[in-house]
Amino acid sequence: MTEKRVFTRPVWAACLVTTVVLIAGCQTVGPEFVKPEADTPTDWSDAAEGRFQTAPLEMIEWWRLFEDPTLDQLVEQARAQNNNIEIAALRVLESQALLGIATGLKYPQAQAAAGDATWVSPPNNSVIQSNYWSYTLGAGVSWEIDFWGRYRRGIESAEAAFQASIAAYDQAMVLLTAAVVENYIIIRTLQEQLRIARENLKIQQRSYEITEVLFRNGADSELDMQQANTLLLATQATIPSLEAALRQAENAMATLLGTLPGSLGTLLDEPAQIPQLPDSIAIGFPADMLRRRPDVRQSELIAMAQNAQIGLAKADLYPSFSLSGSIGLSAGGPGDSSFGDLFSSDALGVSIGPSFVWPFLNYGRIKNNVRVQDARLQQALVNYRETVLQAAREAEDAIAGYGGASDQARILEQTVASARRSNELSTLRYQEGFSDYQRVLDSQQALFTQQQRHITARGDAVRSLVALYKALGGGWEGRDGLPYLDDETRQLMQERTDWGDMLEAAYPDPAGQPEQD
């Protein structure tokens, strides 16, 4: 009779005590993350000017300040259809899945069930002379105790990387919104320049026709006619380049909207002026910008993720402790045996116990890996400081650019008025015989030049305001109403892979993230 295995209480107690001691002694190696500090100005350089206010500014949907329904529609369509935004959203999903992998490592890392049925035919010179079947069925579990915090650091790094991917999505949203608005301003500026060119073309065409009639009647010289024709042709020559630039800007807009060039239809055909500038703008304080800009937040989170990598690397310096166990059934062999014997009590086998691995001979490699991770952390911290510096510079440049461009547009508006009056007077004096036709040509050319300069300056002023909103990090806050992905992509991915409820999840609010000290 086969003796039945009996597992006594001392064996189970020893395993239980070992496990409790290992878990109780767990500690996390590696440095705790300290929020990096960066120097920021206490106030903006041009904040004292009347056009700027340091009052807090609500940056959500800042483009609605221009009160342009067409622009609102374009921004909404781009934010829903742009390919780069969708790629950024998919990277968030990727990071979320990687976080799930890191989280799963807290639990038994290896769990497997296995079984086999093997027919064995021994060689003729073997002691065993008969053929037989061998059957096994079992399961094994191995759990490396997170004694030094290896897996906790991995989760910490993956969580920070996940949050950084959200910040990258927000930054993509800021850049896209600014690009759409800026491209819209370019389109409206080119349309206005074309309108001005065609208006001047009509004026100059009439002047040329007058000089041609006078020349043919012998009342004027050919010189006046040729000079009028030269000015007319020069103005005509500006139109093809403006039309080409307008077509290119419309193609760029279509790309931003995630559609093919030429697919905008009549959306931008409606005559519209360049948006007007507000009398004053609230720009907040520099510290507000740092809390708002997604790229600053992203660089901080990248440093946080890298900080955890140091602890993960340091854990390799110490022994790892595991608890392994298996249970199985085994039957078969020479003699009278059958598959049914696999399920008898005599077929049961169990093994359980702790183990450890200590790669003490690899300290040079492990320590150098720790140094690699520490150097990467320092790079990330320096990159954070650089990101803050660049953010402050971009904001200051945008403030200065807006101030200069708006002042120039205001002065050129007066210049256009003066040029228009000069053209009227020179035409009147020519008709009354007090001046030659050259004065008329000069005034017409000056009027066209100043009008074009004025339109360009107006467009530049509004584009500098767009650059200011982009530098201040405005535009990403409105993403709450947007889907992770469009319905078609979501359905396709769900049919291809079991995503659970991840495709329906909302982005976490960055304001709710706990700060690390």
Q: Tell me 320's DSSP state.
A: E
pLDDT value of position 356: 83
pLDDT at 135: 81
| Bridge partner residues of 326 (DSSP) | 140, 351
Tokens for 93, please give them.
């999903």
CB 479 within 8 A of CB 507: yes
**Which residues, at least 6 apart from 274, have a Cβ–Cβ distance to it below 8 Å?**
185, 188, 189, 192, 455, 458, 459, 462
Choosing among 3.90.650.10, 1.20.1600.10, 3.40.309.10, 3.90.1150.180, the CATH entry for 31-106+146-319+358-501 is 1.20.1600.10
pTM of the model: 0.84
CA separation for the pair 247, 262 (Å, rounded)? 9
Residue 28 has what pLDDT? 83
Point out which residues pair with 323 in neighbouring strands: 143, 354
Helix (H) or strand (E) holding 144: strand 132-145
Distance CA 329, CA 350 (A): 9
**Per-residue pLDDT tens for 396-422?**
888 888 888 888 999 999 999 999 999
Q: How far is CA 368 from the centre of its chain?
A: 33
Distance between start and end Cα atoms, the chain: 67
- CATH 2.20.200.10 in the chain is located at 1-30+110-145+320-357
Q: What is the pLDDT of residue 175?
A: 93
Instruction: List all residues 6 or more positions away from 165 whose beta carbon is below 8 Å from its beta carbon.
Output: 88, 91, 92, 94, 95, 96
Q: How far apart are CA 290 and CA 384, in angstroms?
A: 11
- Radius of gyration over alpha carbons of the chain, in Å? 38
Instruction: Give the whole-angstrom CA distance, residue 441 versus residue 429.
Output: 13
DSSP string, 339-387: GGGGGSGGGEEEEEEEEEE--GGGHHHHHHHHHHHHHHHHHHHHHHHHH
3 burial type by CB count under 10 A (0-12 exposed, 13-18 middle, 19+ buried): exposed
The reported pLDDT for the residue numbered 516 is: 41
Q: Contact, 455 vs 39, CB < 8 A? A: no
Low-confidence ranges of the chain (pLDDT < 50): 1-7, 17, 20-22, 24, 512-517
Q: Taking the domain 1-30+110-145+320-357, which CATH number applies?
A: 2.20.200.10
- CATH 1.20.1600.10 range(s) for the chain read 31-106+146-319+358-501
